[in-house]
Structure 1
Amino acid sequence: MTIRTAQPADLTALRAVADAALTLDSGAAALVDRLAAPPAGRRWTALATGGLSGDLTGVVFASLSGRDPSVGHIDLLAVHPAAQGAGRGRALVEAAEEWLRAEGARMARFAGNPPCYAWPGIDVRYTPAACLAERLGYTLDTTAWNMTADLSTADLSTEDDIARLADAKVAVISAPTGERGEVAEFVRRHWNDTWAWEAENGTGCHYAVRDGEILGFAAWGSRPAWFGPMGSAPAARGLGIGRVLLRRCLADMRTAGLTEAQIGWVGPLRFYSRAVAARAERVFWLYSRALGDGPPGGG
Protein backbone atom coordinates (compact mmCIF):
# COMPACT_ATOMS: atom_id res chain seq x y z
CA MET A 1 0.00 0.00 0.00
CA THR A 2 1.47 3.33 -1.07
CA ILE A 3 1.10 6.33 1.25
CA ARG A 4 2.51 9.64 0.12
CA THR A 5 2.25 13.34 0.86
CA ALA A 6 -0.67 14.83 -1.03
CA GLN A 7 0.08 17.61 -3.49
CA PRO A 8 -2.00 20.64 -4.55
CA ALA A 9 -2.81 18.81 -7.79
CA ASP A 10 -4.50 16.08 -5.71
CA LEU A 11 -7.15 18.37 -4.27
CA THR A 12 -9.85 17.38 -6.76
CA ALA A 13 -9.31 13.69 -6.03
CA LEU A 14 -9.21 14.31 -2.27
CA ARG A 15 -12.52 16.17 -2.47
CA ALA A 16 -14.03 13.20 -4.31
CA VAL A 17 -12.79 10.75 -1.65
CA ALA A 18 -14.20 12.92 1.15
CA ASP A 19 -17.56 13.34 -0.60
CA ALA A 20 -17.89 9.58 -1.11
CA ALA A 21 -16.76 8.59 2.40
CA LEU A 22 -18.17 11.30 4.66
CA THR A 23 -21.84 10.73 3.93
CA LEU A 24 -23.04 12.62 7.01
CA ASP A 25 -21.44 15.86 5.80
CA SER A 26 -22.93 17.51 2.73
CA GLY A 27 -19.96 19.90 2.65
CA ALA A 28 -17.24 17.24 2.87
CA ALA A 29 -15.34 18.56 -0.15
CA ALA A 30 -15.32 22.04 1.40
CA LEU A 31 -13.81 20.56 4.58
CA VAL A 32 -10.84 19.39 2.50
CA ASP A 33 -10.46 22.89 1.06
CA ARG A 34 -10.62 24.44 4.52
CA LEU A 35 -8.00 22.13 6.03
CA ALA A 36 -5.75 22.66 3.01
CA ALA A 37 -5.71 26.43 3.69
CA PRO A 38 -5.00 26.69 7.44
CA PRO A 39 -3.84 29.74 9.41
CA ALA A 40 -0.34 31.00 8.67
CA GLY A 41 2.28 29.18 10.69
CA ARG A 42 0.36 25.94 11.20
CA ARG A 43 2.46 22.80 10.78
CA TRP A 44 0.32 20.27 8.95
CA THR A 45 0.27 17.55 6.36
CA ALA A 46 -2.14 15.64 4.14
CA LEU A 47 -1.27 12.03 3.37
CA ALA A 48 -2.99 9.96 0.70
CA THR A 49 -3.19 6.35 -0.40
CA GLY A 50 -2.91 5.48 -4.05
CA GLY A 51 -0.82 6.40 -7.03
CA LEU A 52 -1.48 9.34 -9.29
CA SER A 53 -4.11 11.87 -8.18
CA GLY A 54 -6.97 10.19 -10.02
CA ASP A 55 -6.26 6.89 -8.26
CA LEU A 56 -6.43 8.15 -4.67
CA THR A 57 -8.52 6.03 -2.30
CA GLY A 58 -7.93 7.63 1.10
CA VAL A 59 -6.68 10.73 2.87
CA VAL A 60 -5.73 11.84 6.36
CA PHE A 61 -5.04 15.41 7.47
CA ALA A 62 -2.86 15.94 10.55
CA SER A 63 -1.54 19.05 12.29
CA LEU A 64 0.26 20.30 15.35
CA SER A 65 -1.55 22.37 17.95
CA GLY A 66 -0.67 26.04 17.82
CA ARG A 67 -1.04 26.25 21.59
CA ASP A 68 1.05 23.21 22.50
CA PRO A 69 3.26 21.77 19.73
CA SER A 70 3.71 18.56 21.72
CA VAL A 71 0.06 17.78 20.85
CA GLY A 72 -0.88 16.58 17.39
CA HIS A 73 -4.30 16.27 15.79
CA ILE A 74 -5.86 13.82 13.37
CA ASP A 75 -8.03 16.40 11.63
CA LEU A 76 -9.81 14.33 8.98
CA LEU A 77 -9.74 10.70 7.87
CA ALA A 78 -11.60 9.43 4.82
CA VAL A 79 -11.37 6.19 2.82
CA HIS A 80 -13.44 5.72 -0.31
CA PRO A 81 -16.23 3.15 0.31
CA ALA A 82 -14.95 1.01 -2.56
CA ALA A 83 -11.58 0.72 -0.82
CA GLN A 84 -12.70 0.18 2.76
CA GLY A 85 -11.98 -3.00 4.69
CA ALA A 86 -8.39 -3.36 3.47
CA GLY A 87 -6.62 -1.57 6.34
CA ARG A 88 -6.17 1.77 4.60
CA GLY A 89 -7.68 3.76 7.47
CA ARG A 90 -5.32 2.24 10.01
CA ALA A 91 -2.33 2.69 7.72
CA LEU A 92 -3.20 6.35 7.16
CA VAL A 93 -3.58 7.07 10.87
CA GLU A 94 -0.28 5.32 11.66
CA ALA A 95 1.45 7.32 8.92
CA ALA A 96 -0.03 10.53 10.33
CA GLU A 97 1.18 9.56 13.81
CA GLU A 98 4.66 8.95 12.43
CA TRP A 99 4.66 12.41 10.87
CA LEU A 100 3.46 13.96 14.13
CA ARG A 101 6.11 12.09 16.09
CA ALA A 102 8.83 13.33 13.73
CA GLU A 103 7.54 16.89 14.25
CA GLY A 104 7.94 16.55 18.02
CA ALA A 105 4.40 15.63 19.09
CA ARG A 106 4.11 13.36 22.11
CA MET A 107 0.34 13.02 22.06
CA ALA A 108 -2.15 12.56 19.23
CA ARG A 109 -5.80 13.55 19.40
CA PHE A 110 -8.86 12.76 17.32
CA ALA A 111 -10.15 16.23 18.08
CA GLY A 112 -10.55 19.57 16.36
CA ASN A 113 -7.49 21.81 16.16
CA PRO A 114 -8.96 25.34 16.37
CA PRO A 115 -9.37 27.61 14.62
CA CYS A 116 -9.27 25.58 11.40
CA TYR A 117 -10.83 22.15 11.88
CA ALA A 118 -13.43 19.81 10.45
CA TRP A 119 -15.30 18.69 13.60
CA PRO A 120 -14.83 18.80 17.40
CA GLY A 121 -14.06 15.06 17.34
CA ILE A 122 -15.41 11.85 15.79
CA ASP A 123 -19.13 12.02 15.05
CA VAL A 124 -20.52 9.04 16.95
CA ARG A 125 -22.45 8.00 13.83
CA TYR A 126 -19.15 7.39 12.03
CA THR A 127 -18.88 4.26 14.15
CA PRO A 128 -16.05 2.58 12.18
CA ALA A 129 -13.83 5.61 12.82
CA ALA A 130 -14.48 5.41 16.57
CA CYS A 131 -13.77 1.67 16.50
CA LEU A 132 -10.50 2.30 14.66
CA ALA A 133 -9.42 4.92 17.18
CA GLU A 134 -10.06 2.56 20.08
CA ARG A 135 -8.33 -0.33 18.30
CA LEU A 136 -5.27 1.90 17.89
CA GLY A 137 -5.16 2.60 21.62
CA TYR A 138 -6.93 5.94 21.79
CA THR A 139 -9.04 6.59 24.87
CA LEU A 140 -12.17 8.71 25.13
CA ASP A 141 -11.46 12.03 26.84
CA THR A 142 -14.69 13.98 26.57
CA THR A 143 -17.83 14.57 24.54
CA ALA A 144 -18.90 17.63 22.55
CA TRP A 145 -22.06 18.36 20.63
CA ASN A 146 -23.51 20.59 17.94
CA MET A 147 -27.00 22.02 17.72
CA THR A 148 -28.94 22.30 14.47
CA ALA A 149 -31.15 25.25 13.54
CA ASP A 150 -33.76 24.68 10.83
CA LEU A 151 -33.40 27.81 8.71
CA SER A 152 -36.61 27.12 6.81
CA THR A 153 -38.76 27.42 9.94
CA ALA A 154 -36.72 29.41 12.50
CA ASP A 155 -37.95 32.86 13.49
CA LEU A 156 -35.05 35.10 12.48
CA SER A 157 -36.80 38.45 12.81
CA THR A 158 -34.80 41.23 14.48
CA GLU A 159 -36.76 44.42 13.75
CA ASP A 160 -38.14 44.91 17.27
CA ASP A 161 -34.80 44.10 18.89
CA ILE A 162 -32.91 46.44 16.54
CA ALA A 163 -35.30 49.28 17.47
CA ARG A 164 -34.92 48.51 21.17
CA LEU A 165 -31.12 48.52 20.87
CA ALA A 166 -31.20 51.77 18.90
CA ASP A 167 -33.01 53.38 21.85
CA ALA A 168 -30.06 52.27 23.97
CA LYS A 169 -27.68 53.82 21.39
CA VAL A 170 -26.48 50.38 20.22
CA ALA A 171 -26.08 49.70 16.49
CA VAL A 172 -25.71 46.29 14.86
CA ILE A 173 -23.38 46.31 11.86
CA SER A 174 -22.34 43.80 9.20
CA ALA A 175 -18.57 43.56 8.76
CA PRO A 176 -17.54 42.66 5.19
CA THR A 177 -14.58 40.38 4.51
CA GLY A 178 -11.38 42.41 4.58
CA GLU A 179 -12.84 45.03 6.93
CA ARG A 180 -12.82 43.12 10.21
CA GLY A 181 -9.53 44.16 11.74
CA GLU A 182 -11.18 46.10 14.57
CA VAL A 183 -13.61 43.27 15.28
CA ALA A 184 -10.78 40.71 15.26
CA GLU A 185 -8.81 42.80 17.73
CA PHE A 186 -11.86 43.03 20.00
CA VAL A 187 -12.26 39.25 19.87
CA ARG A 188 -8.56 38.67 20.49
CA ARG A 189 -8.59 41.00 23.49
CA HIS A 190 -11.62 39.44 25.16
CA TRP A 191 -11.17 35.78 24.11
CA ASN A 192 -8.28 34.39 22.06
CA ASP A 193 -6.47 34.26 18.71
CA THR A 194 -8.51 31.23 17.65
CA TRP A 195 -11.83 33.05 17.76
CA ALA A 196 -10.23 36.14 16.19
CA TRP A 197 -9.10 34.07 13.19
CA GLU A 198 -12.58 32.56 12.80
CA ALA A 199 -14.25 35.96 13.00
CA GLU A 200 -11.88 37.43 10.43
CA ASN A 201 -11.98 34.49 8.01
CA GLY A 202 -15.63 33.41 8.24
CA THR A 203 -18.09 34.01 5.44
CA GLY A 204 -20.09 36.52 7.46
CA CYS A 205 -19.69 38.60 10.62
CA HIS A 206 -21.93 41.01 12.56
CA TYR A 207 -21.07 43.11 15.58
CA ALA A 208 -22.75 45.51 18.01
CA VAL A 209 -21.27 48.90 18.86
CA ARG A 210 -22.13 51.80 21.18
CA ASP A 211 -20.32 55.13 21.21
CA GLY A 212 -17.51 53.61 19.15
CA GLU A 213 -17.04 50.69 21.54
CA ILE A 214 -17.63 47.15 20.23
CA LEU A 215 -19.87 45.21 22.61
CA GLY A 216 -20.23 41.84 20.91
CA PHE A 217 -19.82 39.87 17.71
CA ALA A 218 -21.03 36.77 15.88
CA ALA A 219 -19.59 35.04 12.82
CA TRP A 220 -20.47 32.17 10.52
CA GLY A 221 -18.86 30.13 7.77
CA SER A 222 -15.40 29.46 9.17
CA ARG A 223 -16.50 25.86 8.47
CA PRO A 224 -19.14 25.01 5.85
CA ALA A 225 -22.69 25.67 7.10
CA TRP A 226 -21.51 26.35 10.68
CA PHE A 227 -22.41 29.26 12.93
CA GLY A 228 -19.91 30.60 15.44
CA PRO A 229 -18.07 31.83 17.30
CA MET A 230 -20.10 34.44 19.16
CA GLY A 231 -19.41 36.49 22.28
CA SER A 232 -20.40 39.59 24.24
CA ALA A 233 -18.23 41.83 26.39
CA PRO A 234 -19.15 42.39 30.05
CA ALA A 235 -20.44 45.87 29.13
CA ALA A 236 -23.11 44.25 26.93
CA ARG A 237 -24.62 42.04 29.59
CA GLY A 238 -28.37 42.44 29.85
CA LEU A 239 -28.78 44.22 26.51
CA GLY A 240 -29.89 41.09 24.64
CA ILE A 241 -27.53 41.58 21.71
CA GLY A 242 -26.67 37.89 21.48
CA ARG A 243 -30.02 36.90 20.01
CA VAL A 244 -29.86 39.72 17.46
CA LEU A 245 -26.34 38.80 16.32
CA LEU A 246 -27.26 35.11 16.11
CA ARG A 247 -30.38 35.77 14.07
CA ARG A 248 -28.60 38.20 11.74
CA CYS A 249 -25.98 35.54 10.96
CA LEU A 250 -28.53 32.78 10.45
CA ALA A 251 -30.54 35.07 8.17
CA ASP A 252 -27.38 35.53 6.08
CA MET A 253 -26.98 31.76 5.92
CA ARG A 254 -30.56 31.35 4.77
CA THR A 255 -30.05 34.01 2.10
CA ALA A 256 -26.98 32.08 0.96
CA GLY A 257 -29.25 29.11 0.24
CA LEU A 258 -28.61 27.00 3.33
CA THR A 259 -31.56 25.14 4.82
CA GLU A 260 -29.98 24.46 8.21
CA ALA A 261 -27.12 25.71 10.34
CA GLN A 262 -24.79 23.79 12.59
CA ILE A 263 -24.05 25.61 15.84
CA GLY A 264 -20.71 24.10 16.71
CA TRP A 265 -19.20 22.96 19.98
CA VAL A 266 -22.15 24.32 21.95
CA GLY A 267 -22.13 25.43 25.56
CA PRO A 268 -25.44 27.21 26.36
CA LEU A 269 -28.08 24.80 25.03
CA ARG A 270 -30.98 26.81 26.49
CA PHE A 271 -29.98 30.06 24.78
CA TYR A 272 -29.92 28.58 21.27
CA SER A 273 -33.04 26.52 21.87
CA ARG A 274 -35.03 29.61 22.89
CA ALA A 275 -33.50 32.03 20.38
CA VAL A 276 -33.90 29.97 17.18
CA ALA A 277 -35.51 26.66 18.26
CA ALA A 278 -32.20 24.84 17.73
CA ARG A 279 -31.97 21.19 18.76
CA ALA A 280 -29.01 19.19 20.07
CA GLU A 281 -28.13 16.71 17.34
CA ARG A 282 -24.56 15.86 16.38
CA VAL A 283 -22.49 14.30 19.16
CA PHE A 284 -18.70 13.94 18.96
CA TRP A 285 -16.23 11.81 20.90
CA LEU A 286 -12.79 13.33 21.50
CA TYR A 287 -10.00 10.75 21.77
CA SER A 288 -6.28 10.89 22.57
CA ARG A 289 -3.28 8.67 23.12
CA ALA A 290 0.40 9.10 23.96
CA LEU A 291 2.49 8.51 20.86
CA GLY A 292 5.53 6.95 22.54
CA ASP A 293 8.01 5.37 20.15
CA GLY A 294 5.61 3.67 17.75
CA PRO A 295 2.15 2.26 17.11
CA PRO A 296 0.53 -0.02 19.70
CA GLY A 297 0.37 -3.73 19.04
CA GLY A 298 -2.76 -5.77 18.61
CA GLY A 299 -5.35 -6.17 15.91
Structure 2
Amino acid sequence: MYRIKPELFNLNYTLDCGQVFRWEREGDWWTGVVGNHVIRLSREEDSGELLVDSELPPEFFARYFRLDDDLHSIYESINRDLLIDRAINKYRGLRLIRQDPWECLISYMLATASSIPTIQKRIYLLSRFLGKELEDGYFSFPDPEALANADFPTLDRCKLGFRTERIKAAAEEVCSGELDFDAISRLEYRYARERLMRLRGIGEKVADCVLLFAFEKMESFPVDTHIRQTIQHYHIDDSYFETCKNLSCMGEWGREYFGHYCGYAQEYLYYQKRVEGFVPLY
Protein backbone atom coordinates (compact mmCIF):
# COMPACT_ATOMS: atom_id res chain seq x y z
CA MET A 1 0.00 0.00 0.00
CA TYR A 2 1.21 3.51 -0.75
CA ARG A 3 -0.02 7.11 -0.90
CA ILE A 4 -0.30 9.70 -3.61
CA LYS A 5 -1.50 13.28 -3.26
CA PRO A 6 -3.33 14.43 -6.39
CA GLU A 7 -4.30 18.04 -6.83
CA LEU A 8 -8.00 18.87 -7.01
CA PHE A 9 -9.37 15.33 -7.00
CA ASN A 10 -12.47 13.90 -5.33
CA LEU A 11 -12.44 10.11 -5.40
CA ASN A 12 -16.05 9.65 -4.32
CA TYR A 13 -17.56 11.95 -6.93
CA THR A 14 -15.35 10.54 -9.68
CA LEU A 15 -16.27 6.91 -9.04
CA ASP A 16 -19.90 7.52 -8.10
CA CYS A 17 -20.95 9.77 -10.98
CA GLY A 18 -21.94 6.95 -13.34
CA GLN A 19 -19.13 6.95 -15.88
CA VAL A 20 -17.69 3.58 -14.75
CA PHE A 21 -19.53 0.49 -13.57
CA ARG A 22 -17.00 -1.82 -11.92
CA TRP A 23 -16.35 0.04 -8.69
CA GLU A 24 -18.19 -0.51 -5.42
CA ARG A 25 -17.92 1.37 -2.16
CA GLU A 26 -17.81 -0.11 1.32
CA GLY A 27 -17.25 2.43 4.06
CA ASP A 28 -14.30 4.64 3.15
CA TRP A 29 -12.90 2.21 0.59
CA TRP A 30 -13.62 1.67 -3.07
CA THR A 31 -12.87 -1.68 -4.73
CA GLY A 32 -12.77 -1.99 -8.49
CA VAL A 33 -11.50 -4.11 -11.34
CA VAL A 34 -9.42 -2.40 -14.00
CA GLY A 35 -7.92 -4.67 -16.62
CA ASN A 36 -6.46 -7.67 -14.81
CA HIS A 37 -6.15 -5.92 -11.46
CA VAL A 38 -8.34 -5.66 -8.39
CA ILE A 39 -7.74 -2.21 -6.90
CA ARG A 40 -8.70 -0.74 -3.54
CA LEU A 41 -8.66 3.01 -2.95
CA SER A 42 -9.52 5.41 -0.16
CA ARG A 43 -9.04 9.14 0.28
CA GLU A 44 -8.10 10.84 3.52
CA GLU A 45 -10.31 13.87 3.95
CA ASP A 46 -7.86 15.96 5.96
CA SER A 47 -4.76 15.53 3.80
CA GLY A 48 -6.42 14.76 0.47
CA GLU A 49 -4.03 11.84 0.04
CA LEU A 50 -5.12 8.79 -1.88
CA LEU A 51 -4.44 5.45 -0.18
CA VAL A 52 -3.68 2.87 -2.85
CA ASP A 53 -3.84 -0.88 -2.27
CA SER A 54 -2.58 -2.14 -5.63
CA GLU A 55 0.55 -3.38 -7.34
CA LEU A 56 0.01 -0.82 -10.08
CA PRO A 57 2.35 2.22 -9.97
CA PRO A 58 1.31 5.82 -9.26
CA GLU A 59 1.71 6.63 -12.97
CA PHE A 60 -1.19 4.32 -13.76
CA PHE A 61 -3.57 6.23 -11.50
CA ALA A 62 -2.35 9.58 -12.78
CA ARG A 63 -3.38 8.50 -16.27
CA TYR A 64 -6.53 6.59 -15.28
CA PHE A 65 -7.99 9.49 -13.31
CA ARG A 66 -6.79 12.13 -15.79
CA LEU A 67 -4.77 13.92 -13.15
CA ASP A 68 -2.97 15.68 -15.99
CA ASP A 69 -6.14 17.63 -16.82
CA ASP A 70 -5.91 21.25 -15.67
CA LEU A 71 -9.27 21.40 -13.90
CA HIS A 72 -8.83 25.07 -12.98
CA SER A 73 -8.62 26.00 -16.67
CA ILE A 74 -11.42 23.62 -17.59
CA TYR A 75 -13.69 25.15 -14.96
CA GLU A 76 -12.99 28.62 -16.32
CA SER A 77 -13.76 27.39 -19.84
CA ILE A 78 -17.12 25.73 -19.09
CA ASN A 79 -18.43 27.99 -16.32
CA ARG A 80 -21.06 29.74 -18.40
CA ASP A 81 -24.03 30.18 -16.07
CA LEU A 82 -25.35 29.73 -12.52
CA LEU A 83 -26.31 26.08 -13.04
CA ILE A 84 -22.89 24.81 -14.10
CA ASP A 85 -21.24 27.13 -11.56
CA ARG A 86 -23.24 25.44 -8.80
CA ALA A 87 -22.32 21.98 -10.08
CA ILE A 88 -18.63 22.85 -10.30
CA ASN A 89 -18.53 24.21 -6.77
CA LYS A 90 -20.52 21.38 -5.21
CA TYR A 91 -18.80 18.50 -7.01
CA ARG A 92 -15.38 20.05 -7.26
CA GLY A 93 -12.66 17.52 -8.02
CA LEU A 94 -14.81 15.19 -10.11
CA ARG A 95 -12.61 14.03 -12.99
CA LEU A 96 -13.31 12.10 -16.13
CA ILE A 97 -11.71 8.65 -16.28
CA ARG A 98 -9.63 7.25 -19.14
CA GLN A 99 -11.30 3.93 -19.83
CA ASP A 100 -10.25 0.96 -21.93
CA PRO A 101 -11.98 1.32 -25.34
CA TRP A 102 -13.11 -2.30 -25.58
CA GLU A 103 -14.63 -2.52 -22.10
CA CYS A 104 -16.14 0.94 -22.40
CA LEU A 105 -17.77 0.10 -25.73
CA ILE A 106 -19.45 -3.07 -24.49
CA SER A 107 -20.38 -1.55 -21.14
CA TYR A 108 -22.26 1.31 -22.77
CA MET A 109 -23.90 -1.00 -25.28
CA LEU A 110 -25.21 -2.88 -22.24
CA ALA A 111 -26.31 0.38 -20.63
CA THR A 112 -29.13 1.25 -23.02
CA ALA A 113 -32.51 1.66 -21.31
CA SER A 114 -31.11 0.43 -17.98
CA SER A 115 -30.43 1.57 -14.43
CA ILE A 116 -26.88 1.64 -13.10
CA PRO A 117 -27.42 -1.40 -10.78
CA THR A 118 -28.75 -3.40 -13.75
CA ILE A 119 -25.76 -2.42 -15.88
CA GLN A 120 -23.41 -3.44 -13.09
CA LYS A 121 -25.12 -6.82 -12.76
CA ARG A 122 -24.84 -7.53 -16.49
CA ILE A 123 -21.16 -6.63 -16.54
CA TYR A 124 -20.51 -8.78 -13.47
CA LEU A 125 -22.23 -11.79 -15.02
CA LEU A 126 -20.45 -11.31 -18.34
CA SER A 127 -17.11 -11.15 -16.51
CA ARG A 128 -17.94 -14.10 -14.28
CA PHE A 129 -18.85 -16.44 -17.13
CA LEU A 130 -16.38 -15.24 -19.77
CA GLY A 131 -13.56 -13.50 -17.90
CA LYS A 132 -10.80 -14.80 -15.65
CA GLU A 133 -11.06 -14.95 -11.87
CA LEU A 134 -8.59 -12.50 -10.31
CA GLU A 135 -9.65 -12.87 -6.69
CA ASP A 136 -12.57 -14.56 -5.00
CA GLY A 137 -15.62 -12.87 -6.53
CA TYR A 138 -13.66 -10.58 -8.87
CA PHE A 139 -13.21 -11.28 -12.56
CA SER A 140 -11.53 -9.62 -15.52
CA PHE A 141 -13.68 -8.23 -18.30
CA PRO A 142 -13.88 -10.77 -21.17
CA ASP A 143 -11.62 -10.07 -24.12
CA PRO A 144 -13.10 -9.71 -27.63
CA GLU A 145 -12.25 -13.31 -28.58
CA ALA A 146 -14.03 -14.74 -25.54
CA LEU A 147 -17.16 -12.74 -26.29
CA ALA A 148 -17.10 -13.39 -30.04
CA ASN A 149 -16.77 -17.15 -29.47
CA ALA A 150 -19.30 -17.38 -26.64
CA ASP A 151 -22.35 -19.54 -27.27
CA PHE A 152 -25.81 -18.10 -26.82
CA PRO A 153 -26.76 -20.30 -23.82
CA THR A 154 -23.80 -18.80 -21.92
CA LEU A 155 -24.70 -15.28 -22.99
CA ASP A 156 -28.31 -15.87 -21.96
CA ARG A 157 -27.06 -16.50 -18.41
CA CYS A 158 -25.68 -12.95 -18.43
CA LYS A 159 -29.19 -11.46 -18.69
CA LEU A 160 -28.32 -9.24 -21.66
CA GLY A 161 -31.71 -9.46 -23.36
CA PHE A 162 -31.98 -7.89 -26.81
CA ARG A 163 -28.38 -6.64 -26.48
CA THR A 164 -26.92 -10.15 -26.79
CA GLU A 165 -26.59 -10.35 -30.58
CA ARG A 166 -25.39 -6.75 -30.78
CA ILE A 167 -22.46 -7.13 -28.42
CA LYS A 168 -21.48 -10.45 -29.97
CA ALA A 169 -21.45 -8.80 -33.41
CA ALA A 170 -19.34 -5.93 -32.05
CA ALA A 171 -16.85 -8.43 -30.62
CA GLU A 172 -16.65 -10.19 -33.99
CA GLU A 173 -15.87 -6.87 -35.71
CA VAL A 174 -13.07 -6.16 -33.24
CA CYS A 175 -11.61 -9.64 -33.69
CA SER A 176 -11.69 -9.37 -37.48
CA GLY A 177 -10.05 -5.95 -37.43
CA GLU A 178 -13.04 -4.32 -39.10
CA LEU A 179 -13.48 -2.20 -35.97
CA ASP A 180 -10.05 -0.70 -35.25
CA PHE A 181 -9.81 1.28 -32.02
CA ASP A 182 -6.49 2.87 -33.00
CA ALA A 183 -8.04 4.14 -36.21
CA ILE A 184 -11.03 5.57 -34.33
CA SER A 185 -8.73 7.41 -31.91
CA ARG A 186 -7.04 9.12 -34.85
CA LEU A 187 -10.31 10.26 -36.43
CA GLU A 188 -11.81 13.68 -35.80
CA TYR A 189 -14.74 13.58 -33.41
CA ARG A 190 -17.55 13.63 -35.98
CA TYR A 191 -16.02 10.92 -38.15
CA ALA A 192 -15.27 8.78 -35.12
CA ARG A 193 -18.88 9.05 -34.02
CA GLU A 194 -20.12 8.10 -37.48
CA ARG A 195 -17.91 5.01 -37.42
CA LEU A 196 -19.16 3.85 -34.03
CA MET A 197 -22.76 4.42 -35.04
CA ARG A 198 -22.35 1.94 -37.87
CA LEU A 199 -22.46 -0.74 -35.17
CA ARG A 200 -25.91 -2.10 -34.55
CA GLY A 201 -27.27 -0.84 -31.25
CA ILE A 202 -25.13 2.29 -31.00
CA GLY A 203 -26.91 5.60 -31.26
CA GLU A 204 -25.62 9.11 -30.68
CA LYS A 205 -25.72 8.96 -26.89
CA VAL A 206 -23.78 5.69 -26.58
CA ALA A 207 -21.29 6.76 -29.24
CA ASP A 208 -20.70 10.06 -27.44
CA CYS A 209 -20.18 8.28 -24.10
CA VAL A 210 -17.62 5.92 -25.59
CA LEU A 211 -15.79 8.72 -27.41
CA LEU A 212 -15.66 10.86 -24.28
CA PHE A 213 -14.61 8.21 -21.78
CA ALA A 214 -12.40 5.97 -23.94
CA PHE A 215 -11.13 8.06 -26.86
CA GLU A 216 -10.57 11.43 -25.16
CA LYS A 217 -12.91 13.31 -27.49
CA MET A 218 -13.61 16.16 -25.09
CA GLU A 219 -16.11 17.68 -27.51
CA SER A 220 -18.47 14.75 -26.96
CA PHE A 221 -21.63 15.87 -25.18
CA PRO A 222 -23.77 12.77 -24.43
CA VAL A 223 -27.46 13.57 -24.17
CA ASP A 224 -29.49 11.16 -22.04
CA THR A 225 -32.75 11.71 -20.18
CA HIS A 226 -31.10 13.72 -17.37
CA ILE A 227 -29.27 16.04 -19.74
CA ARG A 228 -32.29 16.46 -22.00
CA GLN A 229 -34.46 17.42 -19.03
CA THR A 230 -31.79 19.79 -17.74
CA ILE A 231 -31.49 21.57 -21.08
CA GLN A 232 -35.25 21.84 -21.46
CA HIS A 233 -35.73 23.07 -17.90
CA TYR A 234 -32.95 25.63 -17.64
CA HIS A 235 -31.64 26.59 -21.04
CA ILE A 236 -34.12 26.39 -23.89
CA ASP A 237 -37.01 28.79 -24.28
CA ASP A 238 -40.14 27.77 -26.16
CA SER A 239 -39.19 29.39 -29.45
CA TYR A 240 -35.77 27.73 -29.56
CA PHE A 241 -37.08 24.36 -28.44
CA GLU A 242 -39.35 24.24 -31.48
CA THR A 243 -36.22 23.90 -33.62
CA CYS A 244 -34.29 21.74 -31.14
CA LYS A 245 -36.44 18.74 -30.37
CA ASN A 246 -33.95 15.92 -30.93
CA LEU A 247 -30.92 14.76 -28.99
CA SER A 248 -28.52 15.51 -31.84
CA CYS A 249 -29.50 19.17 -31.80
CA MET A 250 -29.04 19.29 -28.03
CA GLY A 251 -25.58 17.80 -28.41
CA GLU A 252 -24.68 20.51 -30.91
CA TRP A 253 -26.02 23.09 -28.49
CA GLY A 254 -23.82 21.69 -25.72
CA ARG A 255 -20.71 21.81 -27.88
CA GLU A 256 -21.37 25.38 -28.94
CA TYR A 257 -22.41 26.60 -25.49
CA PHE A 258 -19.69 25.02 -23.34
CA GLY A 259 -16.88 24.79 -25.90
CA HIS A 260 -14.13 22.20 -26.29
CA TYR A 261 -14.48 20.77 -22.77
CA CYS A 262 -18.25 20.35 -22.98
CA GLY A 263 -17.77 16.69 -22.02
CA TYR A 264 -16.70 17.81 -18.56
CA ALA A 265 -19.69 20.12 -18.31
CA GLN A 266 -21.97 17.26 -19.30
CA GLU A 267 -20.67 15.01 -16.52
CA TYR A 268 -21.09 17.67 -13.84
CA LEU A 269 -24.62 18.50 -14.98
CA TYR A 270 -25.51 14.81 -15.29
CA TYR A 271 -24.31 14.00 -11.78
CA GLN A 272 -26.02 17.03 -10.27
CA LYS A 273 -29.33 16.14 -11.92
CA ARG A 274 -29.13 12.44 -11.01
CA VAL A 275 -28.32 13.15 -7.36
CA GLU A 276 -30.40 16.27 -6.71
CA GLY A 277 -32.97 16.61 -9.47
CA PHE A 278 -33.79 20.17 -10.51
CA VAL A 279 -31.91 22.54 -8.21
CA PRO A 280 -32.75 26.15 -7.28
CA LEU A 281 -30.39 28.76 -8.66
CA TYR A 282 -30.63 31.27 -5.80
- Do these two structures clear the TM 0.5 threshold for a shared fold by scoring above it? no
Q: Which is greater in Rg?
A: 1
| Structure richer in helix, relative to its length | 2
TM-score between the two structures when normalised by the length of structure 2: 0.29
| Structure richer in strand, relative to its length | 1
